[in-house]
Each structure stands twice: as structure tokens, then as C-alpha cells.
Amino acid sequence: MDTPTPARSVGAVTPQRATFSEPLQLRCGRSIAGYELVYETYGSLNADRSNAILVCHALNASHHVAGFYANDPDNVGWWDNIIGPGKPVDTDRFFVIGVNNLGGCFGSTGPMSIDPATGRPYGASFPLVTVEDWVAAQARLADHLGIERFAAVMGGSLGAMQSLSWTRQFPDRLGHALVIACAPNLSAQNIAFNEVARQAILTDPEFHGGDYYAHGATPVRGLRVARMVGHITYLSDDAMASKFGRQLRNGSIGYGFEPEFQIESYLRYQGGKFAEYFDANTYLRITKALDYFDPAFESGGDLAKALATARAAFLVVSFTTDWRFAPERSREIVQALLRNQLDVTYGEIDAPHGHDAFLLDDPRYHALVRAYLERIDAEVAGGVR
Amino acid sequence: MDTPTPARSVGAVTPQRATFSEPLQLRCGRSIAGYELVYETYGSLNADRSNAILVCHALNASHHVAGFYANDPDNVGWWDNIIGPGKPVDTDRFFVIGVNNLGGCFGSTGPMSIDPATGRPYGASFPLVTVEDWVAAQARLADHLGIERFAAVMGGSLGAMQSLSWTRQFPDRLGHALVIACAPNLSAQNIAFNEVARQAILTDPEFHGGDYYAHGATPVRGLRVARMVGHITYLSDDAMASKFGRQLRNGSIGYGFEPEFQIESYLRYQGGKFAEYFDANTYLRITKALDYFDPAFESGGDLAKALATARAAFLVVSFTTDWRFAPERSREIVQALLRNQLDVTYGEIDAPHGHDAFLLDDPRYHALVRAYLERIDAEVAGGVR
């Protein structure tokens, strides 16, 4: 295209559903007999099926990555600011796919789904799925869509762990991996926060050992606390200070346990909203998938060795105030890739927002993603790869 | 003393009890009719009553600061490593006092105590007490002990906030304030962590609105989660990484919700232990006292103005890896003191342990406290002040 398109929304979108009847072997040793994945696509697959980008979601997101629903126009995709016609991930050029992962709670088979073997929700019996399992399931979705090779696989945070895992599990099936706000594994502190969240849920009397559906119950209190603690780790100390500081809701202290500071109201609101739509069993499993992710484990901690079979080119992006997955963790990934002589672009964005920066419309960050993908586009168009 | 004494324990100690029948007016607008404070003392008060040091406790500690109990020799005071004969706070020279604050759960009047007006535990009706209230109650204890003026008031974390408040509330009643691992107020992030802890407790069904004693219940689950989240903020990311890293308890992943990583076991253990001995109503109130502390609030955020009436000399100490109350927060205090031309010694200790460093036996930190107090001792002995 010669003249740049003004950025706009992909418009109204419709989720689709793919059914897989072949059992999927999982890392935990169990297998799942059959499953469904819900996904959305934006843009058009080109004739040689070479322009597809898979977007992997993080902890609490879904297949609804861009656009909106005709019957629910306020329900805008979680990465809509970066994906659309004329946007950094340009759907005039790329065919973009969002998918709700296995074990999710937005339509793909997960703990809330009916187990065909029992006729009841899986609940506690749903297996613990890993990043590697998600990628294996995503590869089957690619088969289903007739996509042998992705132009790129991209994600932020836990989504970026999936991008990274794609380059190990299916090195020939992607040209580029976009690894944004990532870490090669969770630190003790990261695991600790996850464990607090899990304990809040697991010890909620309404959890009923994970089979709360049968009791008509929901561990709302546990989910709220879990989300509150998670939320703190997504924001930088500075971002919280500038957004909330010590602002009081009513100008003075009330000497009670109702919310007094704005930050308290904000967290309670976020926690409450989350508990309304997210499934506790899914939350528990996603935090475990985060804890387990550690590609270098089998090579004794040698990440370069773990990534030795990767063939993709990489864009790695970190954010200076991200204390959940700090830039130094991204640099570990970059160094491991460089030791393998891989093609790596690394951007460390000076952004104030903490981990959440990967979801926000930071001009330097978006410009970097745009420029990187324009290069892929040229390769796709010119048939370089 | 000419030859240094080898450092040793103060030995077996016995808590004492002081009863105050005058009502105490509290910042919340309510007053408490009468109250008791439990305290311990180490060393001897000199003839002119000029060698007393008051030690203020932080979130979960008590009056049991040094020594041990004859019938429970493993129960060693929480700051025993710094207080004793020949130790940095040398009880051969100083008369040291530890006191359980009003609202506490170790013997001083608090939510667990019987309200004489009803014959039942105060529970939810116990007022929200502040740092200023604690200091006012401590001043009455000083009166009771015949101490007009402390050689020093010292504390770490929330205890340091009390030291700082002493210099504002009773500027003539202390010679020195030791303000260790402190902040002039809580940041939005600090408040956020406290609010998570409170929500875990307040929403525990066993909390019964704070009157759980009457139900023979304890909000154990909430207390455990509260302590776990608190504990994360006391340790540095690096300390957790070097102490626990990603170590697995059994060498491999179990794909379940039992503790798998060492850090999970550690946190659950800490949470469980805490829930056995700490009172939830006290915990709620102490986190609120932390949130409320903000001496500069009344002067529109001008900390120098808030400290304009202080006359003490100061030792301010911070620790490089403390991300709860980072060194920059201590520097705010130092700058405010310097703007008032006060005598300030500031030490920023390069310690790996995070906020908990103030409780640990770091040689540079202890040497600094020792050297500072030796100077006071000279003043006391020489009658400088």
C-alpha cells in the first residue's frame, strides 16, 4: 500500500469454534479426550496462507483480541489498540487469530465445560495445563485453519511465554516471535504472589474443592483477593503514586474499614468486576502454568541450550518500570537468543506503567511493533521466507 | 567502661503491667476509658533517670524485645540481636523499655480484652488507634516509670514512625530518635498491599464482622493470606531468589495444588504460624494505623513544616533492597530534618534482605547503631544534655 491507512477498528467480529476429536497428550501425564477452542480472526488469509499472525493471551484475557461484538459494542478486544486496519498489527496486511486457551473460561474447553465422561462440569478434575499444552493445542488450530506456518506468533506476559515456546516446539511453523514483557521463568517472588492468590481461592469455603458449580456456589471472595494482589503487580509503584497517591475518597479519614483511599476503591472495584466474569478453576490453572513455565529446566538452567533449535526471528520488548517481569529478565532471553546467532531485535521502552504497559498505547512501543511487522510484511510480499 | 563487654543476652525477663485509669482521647474522636499496657525492661535506670531508651514495635511484634522467658527459653525477644549487655543497644549503659501498643494482642488492652462496659471482648467495637495514640499512651507509661525524658526512642518500620512521631508530639521528652527502615507515609502501593490483607480477613466467613470471639471462631484463612502477602513485601526479590529461587520440594512438578516450590511451603508455613498467635482485629487496626500515618498531611504535604518543632537529634537508617520503604523515602525524612537544621546522621546500608534487614544482624548496620548510641552514652555520662 502506498498511502498509509488511517488506523481504525476491525469492526464487529464473531467468535468461531473448532472441535478437535483426537486426544491431546498433556505434560502432566494425562490426556484430554477431545476439546473445543473458541477463536476470532481479523483480516484475510492470503492465497499462499503466509500472512497469519497468532496472538496468544495472558492471564485473564481471551480470544477476543480486537474489534467488538455487534450486540455488545462496548466489549472491545483486549489488544484492540494495536490490531486493526492501519494499526501496528495491520489487518489490511495480516490475517490475525486470537484463541481462548485450553482450560480457559471464555468458551474453550475448560473446568466449567461438561465432561462427556460424566455429564457434569470437569471442575476439580480438569487437568493442569501448561504453556506447552496450549501451544500444542494452538498448532492443531493452525492445522484446522490450513496454516502450515505463521508469519508471526505474538503475545505479552504469559502470552509471550507461548510465543517463545512456539519457537521450541514448532521451530519450522513460525517466521517471527514477538516476545513482549516476558520472563524466561517466574522468580520466587512471582511464584509467591501467585501462591497468595491461589490460597485465597483454595481456602474460600465456597470453593468446595473446585467443584463449586455443583453447589451453585462461586468463590467470589477468594477471586477478589486474588485479582487485587495480581493487580498490584501489574502496575508500577510510580504509576500507582501518580494515579492514586494518598488521595482520599471523601477528603478525610473515616476510621473504619470502608474504602477510604482511592487506591482501595480501585482495587475493590477491579477485584469485584473480575470475580463476576472469571472462573476460579481457570485462574488457579493459569497461575500454575505460569509457575511451571521454565524452558531451561531440562537443560539445567541453560536457556541458550533450551532455545538452540529455534529458527524464528525475534522481537523482544520490555518496559523499564515492569517489576513483575523486569527488563533484566527480557535481557536473559535476548542473550540466550544471541548465543544461538538468531536474528533478534530488542527494545526496552521507558514507560511508567509497569507490567501493564504491554497493553497500553505507548507511541514508542507501538512504533517499534509497527516497524518490525512492516519488515515481515515486506518479506511476505516479496516471498523472502 | 574501658574494656568492651562480650555481647550477651539480657537473660530471663518478666513482662510487667501498668494500668491507666485516666481516659485517653484518641485521634478517631473516641476515647478509651482506661487501659493496661504490658511492657518489659532491660538494664537499670540510672539515678537521674536519663538513660532510658524506648523501643517501639512494628506490625506483628510485641513488648518482648530482648531476652527470653524462664519457662519458655526459645521465646527470644524480636530485637534480641541488637539489645543486651555489650550489644549495640547496650543494657549495661541503657535502661531499655519494650511495650505492647494499645490495641495489641499480647497483653495490652486491645480488641481481645474485656470491655468493662459490656463484660464481653471489645471485638469490632475497639476503636481504630493511630501512631499518635500509641505515642500518647507510651508517654503515660513513661510518666508511670518516672521517666521525664528518654535518652532515645527507637524503632524500625512502623516502630520508626512512632519514633518520628515522638519528636513532634513530645519534642522535649527525647534526646534522640532512631528512625530505621521508615517512610514519612505509605505509598499507594503500600496501602494497596494492606488493603489486600484486610480484605482477606474482612471477607473470611469466620470473621463475623469482628466479633468472632463470641462465635468461638478465628478468621484463620484470612490471617494466613494476609501474612503471606505481607511477608512478600518484607523480603527483597533478590533475597527470595537466593533463598528459594525455583527450588522444588520434591525435585519435580506434581501438577496439583499442594506446595511444589520451596517458596510456597515457606509462605504457607509463615502464614499458618502467624494465624496461630496473632489476633485478626489487631492486624486490621495496625494496618490502618500504617495507612493513616502521614505527619505532613496537616501541613499540605510539607514534611519539613510538620517536623519544625522537633528538637531531637536523629539517626535515620535505610536499606538498599528495601522496596517496601525504599531508601528514597528515608531521604525524604532526612531532607525535611535538615531543612530544620536538625542534627541528623543518615546511613544507607547496602543489605540484600529487603525491609526485614532492620531485624537482622548486619554488621555495618549494627556498627552504625552502636557508634551512634556510644555518642549518646557519652552525653548521658557527661551530662551534655
Q: Does the beta-carbon distance from B255 to A127 stay under 8 Å? A: yes
Confidence band for B60, pLDDT divided at 50, 70 and 90: confident
Q: How many A×B Cβ pairs under 8 Å?
A: 145
Q: Compute and round to an integer the Cα radius of gyration of chain A.
A: 21
Q: How distant is the alpha carbon of residue A336 from its chain centre? A: 22
**Strand A174-180, strand A150-156: pairing:** parallel
A366 an active-site residue? no
Predicted TM-score (pTM) above 0.90: yes
Grid cell digits, residue B292: 493513616
CB of B300 less than 8 A from some CB of A? no
Is residue B280 within 8 Å of residue B218, measured between CB atoms? yes
**Strand A35-42, strand A16-20: pairing:** antiparallel
Grid cell digits, residue A287: 497461575
Query: Which pLDDT tens digit goes with each residue over B192-239?
Result: 999 999 999 999 999 999 999 999 999 999 999 999 999 999 999 999
Query: Minimum mean pLDDT among A117-131, A139-153, B28-42, B366-380: which range?
Result: B366-380
Grid cell digits, residue B308: 519544625
- Chain B interface disruption, residue of A255, A298, A322, A328, most B CBs within 10 A: A255
Assess whether pLDDT exceeds 70 at residue B4: no
CB-nearest partner of A128 from B229, B246, B255: B255
Which residues of B are annotated as catalytic? 157, 322, 355
Assess whether pLDDT exceeds 50 at residue B384: no
Mean pLDDT, chain A, whole residue set: 95
Confidence band for A238, pLDDT divided at 50, 70 and 90: very high
CA distance B335 to chain A (A): 20
Distance separating alpha carbons of residues B139 and B127, to the nearest angstrom: 19
Query: Which pLDDT tens digit goes with each residue over A332-344?
Result: 999 999 999 999 9
Is residue A152 within 8 Å of residue A89, measured between CB atoms? no
Diameter over CA atoms, chain A: 68
- 3-state SS track over A251-312: CCCCCCCCCCEHHHHHHHHHHHHHHHHCCHHHHHHHHHHHHHCCCCHHHCCCHHHHCCCCCC
Is residue A167 within 8 Å of residue A174, measured between CB atoms? yes
Is residue B131 within 8 Å of residue B159, measured between CB atoms? no
Assess whether pLDDT exceeds 50 at residue A223: yes
A9 an active-site residue? no
Mean pLDDT, chain B, whole residue set: 95
Q: Does the beta-carbon distance from B241 to A187 stay under 8 Å? A: yes
Confidence band for A383, pLDDT divided at 50, 70 and 90: very low
Diameter over CA atoms, chain B: 68
CA distance A196 to chain B (A): 6
Q: How many CA atoms lie within 13 A of B187 on its CB side?
A: 21
Assess whether pLDDT exceeds 80 at residue A382: no
CB-nearest partner of B255 from A28, A189, A241: A28
SS3 B241: helix
SS3 A9: coil
Is residue B126 within 8 Å of residue B280, measured between CB atoms? no
CB of B244 less than 8 A from some CB of A? yes
CB of A186 less than 8 A from some CB of B? yes
- DSSP category for residue B261: B
Query: Which pLDDT tens digit goes with each residue over B290-320?
Result: 999 999 999 999 999 999 999 999 999 999 9
In chain B, which residues have their Cβ closer than 8 Å to the Cβ of A275?
none
Q: Does the beta-carbon distance from A28 to B243 stay under 8 Å? A: no
H or E element that contains A348: strand A344-349
Q: What is the pLDDT of residue A377?
A: 74
- DSSP category for residue B71: T
Q: Where are the alpha helices (DSSP H) in chain B?
A: 131-144, 158-169, 188-202, 220-234, 237-243, 262-277, 280-292, 303-306, 327-339, 363-382
More confident residue, A202 or A3: A202
**pLDDT, average across residues B51-74:** 96
Q: What is the pLDDT of residue B285?
A: 98
In chain B, which residues have their Cβ closer than 8 Å to the Cβ of A191?
246, 261, 263-264
Assess whether pLDDT exceeds 90 at residue A5: no
Query: Which pLDDT tens digit goes with each residue over A45-90?
Result: 999 999 999 999 999 899 999 999 999 999 999 999 999 999 999 9
Query: Which pLDDT tens digit goes with each residue over B346-355?
Result: 999 999 999 9
Is residue A278 within 8 Å of residue B222, measured between CB atoms? no
**pLDDT cut 90: percent of chain A above it:** 94
Confidence band for A384, pLDDT divided at 50, 70 and 90: very low
